[in-house]
Copies of this chain bind each other. A is one copy, B any other.
Amino acid sequence: MEHGGDLLTYENQYHGKLIDFSSNINPLGPPTGLEKHIMDRLESLRAYPDIQYRKLKKSISSYLNCNEENILVGSGAVEIIDNFMILAHRVIVCTPSFSEYEQRAKVHGKDVVRVPYKKDFTLDIEALKNTLIDGDLLLLGNPNNPTGLRIKKNVLIDIYKMICKKDGYLLLDEAFYEFCPYDYDSIEIFKKLNYEKVGIIRAATKFFALPGLRLGYGCASKHRAQEIRKISLPWSINSLADAAGQYIFEDKDYIKDSKDYIEKERNYLQDELSKIPGILSKKTDTNFILIELANWNEEYIFNGLLKQGILVRKCNSFIDLPNNYIRVAIKSRNYNEMLIKAFKNITRKEI
**Interface residues of A, Cβ cutoff 8 Å to B:** 1, 3-8, 20, 23, 25, 29-30, 35, 38-39, 42, 44-52, 54, 75-76, 78-79, 82, 86, 100, 104, 107-108, 209-214, 231, 233-242, 244
In the bound complex, CA of A8 to CA of B47 (Å): 11
Number of copies: 2
Residues of B within 8 A of A54 (CB): 8
Chain B residue with Cβ nearest A79: B233
Question: A52: shortest Cβ distance to chain B, in Å?
Answer: 8
Classify the interface of chain A: helix, strand, loop or mixed: loop
Question: Given the interface contacts A45-B30, A48-B23, does A78 sit within 8 Å of B234 by beta carbon?
Answer: yes
Cβ contacts under 8 Å, A35 to chain B? 42
Provide the residues of chain B in CB contact with A108, threshold 8 Å: 86, 108
Q: Which of A49, A209, A244 has the most CB of B within 10 A?
A: A49
A20, B104: Cα distance in complex, Å? 37
Asked whether B79 lies within 8 Å of A45 as measured between CB atoms, the reply is no
- Say which residue of B23, B50, B82 sits within 8 Å of A8 (CB atoms): B50
Q: Would you give the shortest CB distance from A80 to chain B, in whole angstroms?
A: 11
Q: How far is the CA of A50 from the CA of B8 in the complex (A)?
A: 7
Task: List 5 other contacts, CB 8 Å, given A78-B235, A79-B236.
Answer: A8-B52, A23-B48, A38-B42, A44-B212, A212-B240
With a cutoff of 8 Å between Cβ atoms, the chain B residues found around residue A75 in the complex are 75, 214, 233, 236, 238
CA distance A35 to B41 in the complex (A): 10
Query: Using Cβ atoms and an 8 Å threshold, which residues of chain B touch A23?
Result: 47-48
